[in-house]
Amino acid sequence: MKDIHRILEEELKTMILVCEDIYKHPELGFKEFRTRQKVIDVLNEAGIAHEDCAYTGILAQIDSGKKGPHIALICELDAVPTLNHPYANSEDHGAHTCGHYAQIGVMLSVFTALKKAETLQDFCGKVTLVVTPAEEFCDMDYRKSLIREGKITHPSGKQEMISLGVFDDVDIVLSCHAMGLDMETYHAEIGAGLNGFIQKRAVFYGKAAHAGSNPAGGVNALNAANLAMTGINFLRETFREEDAIRVHFVMSEGGQTVNTVPSRTQMDMYVRAKTVDAIFETNAKVERALKAGAYAIGCDLEIQDTPGYFPLHQDPNLTDLMKEHILKYMELEKIAQGTHGYASGDMGDISMMWPTVEIGVAGFSGTMHGVDFKTADEEQAYKVPAHYFADAIMDLLANDGEKAFRIKADFSPVMCKDDYLATLDNLNKTNIYQKETGIL
């Protein structure tokens, strides 16, 4: 077997340049046309065939030709809106402030090194690079337009790929992500959990009137929204600490003009929690507050629910295997384990059905989703994780895939794919509450 780590070091030299260029040219989800071409160029140079998937996504595979486990390597293409970031694009303020560009560098360099080192000739099974679009849950009006046009069926890249059957024969899923911990203290985060969430849009419909001469003739939809927000804020004392609940919102429409009583207002929000039960319980409370605000002022109310992501639960056996290899590159005290993050990601959906890890990596500075986010240490952001993922993949494919198959056998999925897709469909709904009925 050729020395994969030597080849990986050579691949990383090029890949870091490619991905730092991606950092400077961000694109939001399902708009990552330039970014995907950068990935395709690397695959073409390595002589690796690819196929398009999920509108802007890419699949590429290396197969040993021998029976064995199927390992998926996940990386993400998209940026997130970040106003005033130095590299934010002018169209929609997209910026790479979540570190996805570096994920591409890690997983793509590992994948091409496996190919160039001819590593799978000495092992079994196959490895698929799954380059996923649209992890950040944003720009929803655009994504819903793609759904209406039949270009996609789900607003998230991994939801779309799950529905298309990309993961149907996958045994193990490996990923990484910039972590939200102190990166001076920790260089890796393993076994971390993430919240799941439901996205909600509440539209309050009132009645316009001249705000100066005839405010009594109107029905103020902004007042209804304010009362709803107050109700949600008063509910916070009922949120249990162990459920890691977060309810946060923005007023995406506050009225039409200062001189007119607002006849329509719109709130967009996430309802997040650590468990599915806590998400649904909190969602019911939030709906009560929304209805109360509308009822008090005399507005009609439209509530649009969009399924977000499921909570992330990383497989403990796969986590233990990754830890063994991470320890070759850093001291134990540099590894955070068993933390819980209040953010969310569609790796949570994957973790419901497949043994999954998403290793938190260091090497960045600034605030996640902030104007100062950037690469601070290429060694930690790219090189170290690439080497321990290469080691882990070889371990999983060695001895006829013994360890991979044992992890798969011990894994208990939370749901099957059919139930998962049915849950997404059931959560995707719009309800109208009219004041004329007397019941909201």
Q: What is the pLDDT of residues 288-344, one digit of tens each?
A: 999 999 999 999 999 999 999 999 999 999 999 999 999 999 999 999 999 999 999
- Residue 9 reports pLDDT greater than 70: yes
- Residue 347 reports pLDDT greater than 80: yes
- Same CATH fold assignment for domains 4-194+311-397 and 196-308+427-437: no
Range 46-69 average pLDDT: 98
What pLDDT is recorded for position 2? 67
C-alpha torsion 255→257→259→263, nearest 10: -40
Give the H or E element holding residue 316.
helix 316-326
pLDDT confidence band for 437 (50 / 70 / 90): low
What pLDDT is recorded for position 419? 96
Q: Residue holding tokens 């293409």?
A: 77
CA nearest to 304, candidates 149, 142, 433: 433
* Domain spanning 196-308+427-437, CATH architecture: 2-Layer Sandwich (3.30)
Share of the chain above pLDDT 90, in %: 98
What fold does the segment set 4-194+311-397 form as a domain?
Aminopeptidase (3.40.630)
CA nearest to 385, candidates 37, 56, 75, 146: 75
Q: What is the pLDDT of residues 161-209, one digit of tens each?
A: 999 999 999 999 999 999 989 999 999 999 999 999 999 999 999 999 9
C-alpha span between 116 and 122 (Å, rounded): 13
**267 within 8 A of 228, measured Cβ to Cβ:** yes
- Residue 138 reports pLDDT greater than 90: yes
Range 45-54 average pLDDT: 98
Q: Is the four-CA dihedral 27, 31, 37, 40 of positive or negative sign? A: positive
**57 within 8 A of 131, measured Cβ to Cβ:** yes
What pLDDT is recorded for position 401? 98
What pLDDT is recorded for position 435? 81
Q: What is the pLDDT of residues 383-427, one digit of tens each?
A: 999 999 999 999 999 999 999 999 999 999 999 999 999 999 999
Give the residue extent of every domain in the chain: 4-194+311-397, 196-308+427-437
C-alpha span between 138 and 118 (Å, rounded): 40
| The pairing of beta strand 335-337 with beta strand 126-132 | unpaired
Would you call 155 exposed, middle or buried from its count of C-beta atoms within 10 A (0-12, 13-18, 19+)?
Answer: buried
CA nearest to 186, candidates 339, 366, 75, 23: 339
Average pLDDT of the residues of the chain = 96
Q: What is the pLDDT of residues 242-291, one digit of tens each?
A: 999 999 999 999 999 999 999 999 999 999 999 999 999 999 999 999 99
- Residue 438 reports pLDDT greater than 80: no
CA nearest to 424, candidates 306, 284, 277: 306
Give residue 309's region: left, alpha or beta (phi > 0; psi -120 to 50).
Answer: beta
Encoding tokens for residue 271? Answer: 């309802």
Q: What angle do CA 99, 104, 108 make, to 5 degrees?
A: 155
**322 within 8 A of 392, measured Cβ to Cβ:** yes
